[in-house]
Amino acid sequence: EVQLVQSGAEVKKPGESLKISCRVSGYFFTNYWIGWMRQMPGKGLEWMGIIYPGDSDIKYDPSFQGQVTISADKSINTAYLQLNSLRASDTAIYYCARFWQHLDHFDYWGQGTRVTVSS
């Protein structure tokens, strides 16, 4: 069974950093892209970036380039999203999702990680 399990909810102060994890199981981690999406309170989905763990090829949405870092550790089948210099506007739910390239869609999603940034 394919599963993507994300790390738990976080409460951070402005200026702090945060690394969210997405641990996958049930398939070959290196064979599928993993994307990261943001959903701000009451708003829609925003694509942030995507990584191919097989060769660490990474693509970022220009709006998030330089603001976040996406990485992966093949040894533990885990992808990461690092958020630096957090601001209140980073308060959101962050989702990881597997992208099935052959069929062009995000077919499995993590449960989401709620991040609250507040002083």
Which residues contact other proteins by CB under 8 A? 35, 37, 44-47, 50, 59, 61-62, 95, 97, 103-107, 109-112
Smaller CB distance to other proteins: residue 17 or 56? Answer: 56
Q: Closest approach of Cβ 75 to other proteins, in Å?
A: 26
**Could you tell me which residues come within 8 angstroms of residue 39 by beta carbon, excluding any fewer than 6 positions away?**
45, 46, 92, 93, 94, 95, 112
Smaller CB distance to other proteins: residue 21 or 111? Answer: 111
Smaller CB distance to other proteins: residue 10 or 46? Answer: 46
Q: Closest approach of Cβ 110 to other proteins, in Å?
A: 7
- How far apart (Å, rounded) are the C-alpha atoms in residues 101 and 99? 6
| HSE, side-chain direction, 13 A CA sphere, residue 77 | 14
**Residue 108, token pair as written in the block:** 């499995």
49: part of which helix (H) or strand (E)? strand 45-52
Smaller CB distance to other proteins: residue 13 or 62? Answer: 62
